[in-house]
Amino acid sequence: MLPLDAEHFLRPVRLGDGAALARAYAANREHLAPWEPLRNPEFFSAAWQESDVRQCVAEEAAGRSRRFVIESVDGEIRGRINLNNIVRGAFRSADLGYWIDHSLLRRGFASQGVRQIAAFARDELRMHRLQAATLVHNIASQRVLADCGFKRIGLAPRYLRIAGEWQDHVLFQLLLE
Protein backbone atom coordinates (compact mmCIF):
# COMPACT_ATOMS: atom_id res chain seq x y z
CA MET A 1 0.00 0.00 0.00
CA LEU A 2 1.21 3.47 -0.90
CA PRO A 3 -0.23 6.36 1.16
CA LEU A 4 -1.60 9.43 -0.62
CA ASP A 5 -2.68 11.19 2.58
CA ALA A 6 -4.00 10.16 6.02
CA GLU A 7 -7.26 8.88 4.51
CA HIS A 8 -6.36 7.54 1.04
CA PHE A 9 -3.86 5.04 -0.31
CA LEU A 10 -2.94 3.19 -3.50
CA ARG A 11 -3.03 -0.59 -3.59
CA PRO A 12 -3.19 -3.28 -6.27
CA VAL A 13 -6.58 -4.39 -7.53
CA ARG A 14 -7.49 -7.65 -5.80
CA LEU A 15 -10.16 -10.31 -5.94
CA GLY A 16 -13.25 -9.14 -4.11
CA ASP A 17 -13.00 -5.51 -5.33
CA GLY A 18 -15.96 -5.89 -7.73
CA ALA A 19 -18.68 -4.46 -5.48
CA ALA A 20 -16.58 -1.45 -4.41
CA LEU A 21 -15.56 -0.79 -8.03
CA ALA A 22 -19.19 -0.97 -9.13
CA ARG A 23 -20.12 1.63 -6.49
CA ALA A 24 -17.20 3.85 -7.54
CA TYR A 25 -18.05 3.70 -11.23
CA ALA A 26 -21.76 4.28 -10.54
CA ALA A 27 -20.97 7.30 -8.35
CA ASN A 28 -18.71 8.72 -11.08
CA ARG A 29 -20.77 7.70 -14.12
CA GLU A 30 -21.49 11.24 -15.33
CA HIS A 31 -18.06 12.53 -14.33
CA LEU A 32 -16.25 9.83 -16.35
CA ALA A 33 -18.61 9.63 -19.35
CA PRO A 34 -16.86 12.33 -21.46
CA TRP A 35 -13.45 10.66 -20.96
CA GLU A 36 -14.21 6.95 -21.40
CA PRO A 37 -15.70 4.54 -23.92
CA LEU A 38 -19.47 4.14 -23.86
CA ARG A 39 -20.43 1.76 -21.06
CA ASN A 40 -23.33 -0.68 -21.16
CA PRO A 41 -25.48 -0.90 -18.01
CA GLU A 42 -23.97 -4.19 -16.87
CA PHE A 43 -20.52 -2.51 -16.62
CA PHE A 44 -21.80 -0.83 -13.45
CA SER A 45 -22.74 -4.11 -11.76
CA ALA A 46 -20.70 -5.84 -9.06
CA ALA A 47 -20.73 -9.06 -11.09
CA TRP A 48 -19.26 -7.40 -14.21
CA GLN A 49 -16.65 -5.54 -12.16
CA GLU A 50 -15.62 -8.71 -10.28
CA SER A 51 -15.22 -10.50 -13.61
CA ASP A 52 -12.99 -7.63 -14.76
CA VAL A 53 -11.01 -7.88 -11.51
CA ARG A 54 -10.34 -11.57 -12.24
CA GLN A 55 -9.08 -10.55 -15.69
CA CYS A 56 -6.86 -7.85 -14.12
CA VAL A 57 -5.35 -10.38 -11.71
CA ALA A 58 -4.73 -12.83 -14.58
CA GLU A 59 -3.10 -10.12 -16.71
CA GLU A 60 -0.88 -9.14 -13.79
CA ALA A 61 0.19 -12.78 -13.32
CA ALA A 62 1.06 -12.88 -17.05
CA GLY A 63 3.08 -9.65 -16.75
CA ARG A 64 0.85 -7.69 -19.14
CA SER A 65 -0.52 -5.06 -16.75
CA ARG A 66 -0.59 -3.76 -13.18
CA ARG A 67 -3.80 -2.17 -11.97
CA PHE A 68 -4.23 -0.14 -8.78
CA VAL A 69 -7.11 1.45 -6.91
CA ILE A 70 -7.19 4.55 -4.76
CA GLU A 71 -8.96 3.41 -1.61
CA SER A 72 -10.17 5.52 1.30
CA VAL A 73 -9.96 4.38 4.91
CA ASP A 74 -13.70 3.59 4.80
CA GLY A 75 -12.94 0.86 2.24
CA GLU A 76 -14.47 2.68 -0.72
CA ILE A 77 -12.62 2.98 -4.03
CA ARG A 78 -12.03 6.57 -5.13
CA GLY A 79 -10.10 6.07 -8.36
CA ARG A 80 -7.85 3.89 -10.48
CA ILE A 81 -4.33 4.11 -11.84
CA ASN A 82 -3.37 1.47 -14.39
CA LEU A 83 -0.26 0.33 -16.18
CA ASN A 84 -1.48 -1.41 -19.32
CA ASN A 85 0.19 -3.00 -22.33
CA ILE A 86 3.42 -3.71 -20.50
CA VAL A 87 6.11 -4.56 -23.04
CA ARG A 88 9.46 -5.97 -21.96
CA GLY A 89 12.60 -6.59 -24.01
CA ALA A 90 14.21 -3.66 -25.75
CA PHE A 91 11.09 -1.45 -25.33
CA ARG A 92 10.38 -1.75 -21.56
CA SER A 93 7.33 0.48 -21.80
CA ALA A 94 3.75 0.63 -20.53
CA ASP A 95 0.64 2.74 -21.04
CA LEU A 96 -0.59 4.77 -18.08
CA GLY A 97 -4.25 5.52 -17.42
CA TYR A 98 -6.06 6.94 -14.42
CA TRP A 99 -9.22 8.48 -13.06
CA ILE A 100 -10.08 10.15 -9.77
CA ASP A 101 -13.43 10.34 -7.95
CA HIS A 102 -15.25 13.59 -8.69
CA SER A 103 -15.19 14.48 -4.97
CA LEU A 104 -11.37 14.38 -4.88
CA LEU A 105 -10.60 16.54 -7.91
CA ARG A 106 -8.08 19.36 -7.62
CA ARG A 107 -6.58 17.99 -4.40
CA GLY A 108 -3.38 16.58 -5.94
CA PHE A 109 -4.36 12.90 -5.76
CA ALA A 110 -3.89 12.31 -9.48
CA SER A 111 -0.42 13.87 -9.55
CA GLN A 112 0.69 12.14 -6.37
CA GLY A 113 -0.65 8.78 -7.54
CA VAL A 114 0.91 9.09 -11.00
CA ARG A 115 4.28 9.93 -9.42
CA GLN A 116 4.08 6.90 -7.14
CA ILE A 117 3.07 4.56 -9.96
CA ALA A 118 5.87 5.95 -12.16
CA ALA A 119 8.36 5.22 -9.37
CA PHE A 120 6.88 1.72 -9.02
CA ALA A 121 7.20 1.18 -12.79
CA ARG A 122 10.84 2.28 -12.67
CA ASP A 123 11.95 0.57 -9.46
CA GLU A 124 9.83 -2.59 -9.31
CA LEU A 125 9.00 -3.32 -12.95
CA ARG A 126 12.26 -1.88 -14.36
CA MET A 127 10.38 0.01 -17.07
CA HIS A 128 12.23 2.54 -19.21
CA ARG A 129 9.22 4.54 -20.37
CA LEU A 130 5.57 5.30 -19.69
CA GLN A 131 3.16 6.63 -22.28
CA ALA A 132 -0.14 8.39 -21.62
CA ALA A 133 -2.79 9.81 -23.92
CA THR A 134 -5.40 12.47 -23.19
CA LEU A 135 -8.23 13.88 -25.19
CA VAL A 136 -7.14 17.13 -26.82
CA HIS A 137 -9.52 19.14 -24.62
CA ASN A 138 -8.64 17.38 -21.33
CA ILE A 139 -6.46 20.18 -20.04
CA ALA A 140 -6.67 19.03 -16.40
CA SER A 141 -5.19 15.61 -17.23
CA GLN A 142 -2.52 17.24 -19.39
CA ARG A 143 -1.56 19.41 -16.40
CA VAL A 144 -1.27 16.32 -14.19
CA LEU A 145 1.04 14.66 -16.71
CA ALA A 146 3.18 17.79 -17.14
CA ASP A 147 3.37 18.19 -13.34
CA CYS A 148 4.70 14.61 -13.16
CA GLY A 149 7.41 15.20 -15.78
CA PHE A 150 5.68 13.76 -18.85
CA LYS A 151 6.58 15.43 -22.14
CA ARG A 152 4.20 15.91 -25.05
CA ILE A 153 5.38 13.78 -27.98
CA GLY A 154 2.63 14.15 -30.54
CA LEU A 155 -0.96 14.09 -31.65
CA ALA A 156 -2.77 10.85 -32.54
CA PRO A 157 -5.75 11.53 -34.80
CA ARG A 158 -8.86 9.42 -34.11
CA TYR A 159 -6.82 7.45 -31.53
CA LEU A 160 -9.53 6.02 -29.27
CA ARG A 161 -13.30 5.64 -29.38
CA ILE A 162 -14.34 7.80 -26.43
CA ALA A 163 -17.91 8.83 -25.59
CA GLY A 164 -19.04 7.07 -28.76
CA GLU A 165 -16.73 8.89 -31.20
CA TRP A 166 -13.21 8.35 -32.53
CA GLN A 167 -11.34 11.22 -30.93
CA ASP A 168 -7.91 12.80 -31.30
CA HIS A 169 -5.51 12.42 -28.38
CA VAL A 170 -2.34 14.18 -27.27
CA LEU A 171 0.42 11.67 -26.51
CA PHE A 172 2.87 12.06 -23.64
CA GLN A 173 5.83 10.05 -22.43
CA LEU A 174 7.94 9.88 -19.31
CA LEU A 175 11.43 8.43 -19.49
CA LEU A 176 12.05 6.71 -16.17
CA GLU A 177 15.84 6.54 -16.11
Going from the N-terminus, what domains does the chain have, and what CATH number goes with each?
A: 2-128 (3.40.630.30)
The Cα–Cα gap between 57 and 68 comes to: 11
**Quick one: pLDDT at residue 93?**
98
**Quick one: pLDDT at residue 2?**
86
Three-class SS of residue 132? strand
Indicate the pLDDT class of residue 131, thresholds 50, 70 and 90. very high
Choose among 46, 52, 77, 51: nearest CA to 65.
52
The Cα–Cα gap between 57 and 45 comes to: 18
Position 55 pLDDT exceeds 90: yes
pTM of the model: 0.95
